[in-house]
Structure 1
């Protein structure tokens, strides 16, 4: 049995509905409160560490700095200098320029940060596969296709603090296709991890829906199409699950008219799990509750039972050859 968590950045409770997107709402979905950052809106940078620890940003210590995630040494240095030398408005523009014009990417804090700072996570007590969760990087030296695409978007997705949605795109149609590819790859990786039968917990994440939302504020049909396609992808993931598995979808915030909203959502194939959740800080408890009251067996997809059947047949054949059967 496997608990499967798929984080869909910016999945908005106002934009889903059971009749329109049954695979996004599953058997039960709930609106949950999110947390607003110092920049004035919910931040991916802060919220996924909150989701996996159950702690608020000021407790886990991974904080947004004036609307820009300053993970790299270059960005951190610029942040320290700009605190003294550059007004706030220009500091935000500097951060946007650095993210647009360097190969650095956000959300790359290593998983070792949590142990080093005495923080427990939902992954600590389970055999877990972690796929792309922001600011929980298990191997800082590797990257998958979603990360490669996000880092190499260039002018297809540029930060612009003065634009609606905070970003612009030189070619929205091409950008949409890139984002959908990102979603497909991450969900495919989740499906592969489920099929391996090696994990008690599979926790994957994709940012494609959020990225599309930021540049489609004047193209609502594009955001609707993204919801339709992702609903289909989640349906394919559901086909991989057994009756004993559970799927949980969770977002860090919503997104409408190009801007983050202050309400997130969670859905599950097990409605009982969502009875008492009201905030993103409660997602960890939901996952651990699901892990706690289910029995787990891990093993190869090429199971021991299959090997035992093969051995039984070999023994039977050998006995027949000897005339005992």
Structure 2
């Protein structure tokens, strides 16, 4: 059995409907409590570490210094210095400029942070596949298509302190297409991990819905369409589930009119697991209860073949004959 968890940033309980979005509501869904940052509304930077640890931001230590203007860990030194040197309004504008004018990506705290700080996560001791979790980066030197697209959005997604949602886009339609591609990539990776049968827990995150919501305040039809398409994408993951597999969706907050809202949500194929989650801090415990209560022994669908009879030179010669080398 495999438990698939899809972290869908900004999936809003008030914007889903069981008739229109059967795959975003599943057998049971509910609004859950989230946590507001000390800098304002709920923050992606803080909340995914909360979801995988079950700890509040002050407890796990990954917190914002000055709102999303300073989300990039690589800007933290500048943020710390700015606390002493710059007024807060200027800090925010400088942070926005830095995020708009560098190619660095936010949410890239390495997974080693947790061990170094004596923090445990839902992945510890499990045959788990963490895919794209913000601030749980297994290999900081690599990136998938979602990372690459997000890092290179340029003027398709810019911090704009004058805009209603705090962001603007030079081309919302093109931006929409890139965000949906980002979501497709992450859900495809989740499907591959599920089909491979090597993991008891597959946990994949995507930010596409959140990004679209931040610029859709003037074109709400974009956000509506994103929910429709994402429902179809999740349906493809759902179709891959075996008879004993389970699917859980979780968000960190909602998003309406371009701004994060104070309600997150969960949905699942197991109603009892959904009922056990009242807050973002409960997600880890619910996942572990499901994994501990059911046999999740991995059953790889593809195993290594026995090529012991063939030397490396023979394999190389064969590949050369085929034109691959």
For normalisation by structure 1, the TM-score amounts to 0.91
Q: In structure 2, what is the Cα distance between the partners aligned to 1:149 and 1:237?
A: 22
Show structure 1 runs of 5+ residues with no match: 308-325
Question: How far apart are residue 297 of structure 1 and its match?
Answer: 2.3
After superposition, the Cα gap between the structure-2 partners of 1:303 and 1:244, relative to the gap in structure 1 and judged at 3 Å, is: farther
Q: In structure 2, what is the Cα distance between the partners aligned to 1:162 and 1:290?
A: 45
Question: How far apart are residue 72 of structure 1 and its match?
Answer: 4.1
Give 2:280's aligned residue.
280
Does 208-217 or 286-295 show the bigger shift? 286-295
Give 1:167's aligned residue.
167
Question: How far apart are residue 17 of structure 1 and its match?
Answer: 1.1
Q: In structure 2, what is the Cα distance between the partners aligned to 1:209 and 1:246?
A: 23
Give 2:97's aligned residue.
97
After superposition, the Cα gap between the structure-2 partners of 1:79 and 1:303, relative to the gap in structure 1 and judged at 3 Å, is: closer
Q: In structure 1, what is the Cα distance between the partners aligned to 2:184 and 2:217?
A: 23
Give 1:182's aligned residue.
182
Give 1:17's aligned residue.
17
Question: How far apart are residue 303 of structure 1 and its match?
Answer: 6.4
- Alignment of structure 1 residues 114-263 onto 2, 5 Å: 114-263=114-263
**Runs of 4+ in structure 1 over 6 Å off:** none
After superposition, the Cα gap between the structure-2 partners of 1:202 and 1:125, relative to the gap in structure 1 and judged at 3 Å, is: same
Q: In structure 2, what is the Cα distance between the partners aligned to 1:214 and 1:70?
A: 16
Aligned residues: 305
Q: Does 1:65 align with 2:62?
A: no
User: In 2, are the aligned partners of 1:53 and 1:121 still within 8 Å (CA)?
Assistant: yes
Give 1:299's aligned residue.
299
Note the aligned Cα RMSD (angstroms): 1.5
Does 271-280 or 107-116 show the bigger shift? 271-280
After superposition, the Cα gap between the structure-2 partners of 1:286 and 1:160, relative to the gap in structure 1 and judged at 3 Å, is: same
In the TM superposition, what whole-angstrom CA distance separates every residue of 1:10-56 from its partner, at most 9, and x where no partner exists?
Answer: 00000001011000000000110000002210000000000000000
Q: In structure 2, what is the Cα distance between the partners aligned to 1:252 and 1:69?
A: 19
Show structure 2 runs of 5+ residues with no match: 307-325
For normalisation by structure 2, the TM-score amounts to 0.91
Q: In structure 2, what is the Cα distance between the partners aligned to 1:205 and 1:277?
A: 18
Question: How far apart are residue 257 of structure 1 and its match?
Answer: 0.4
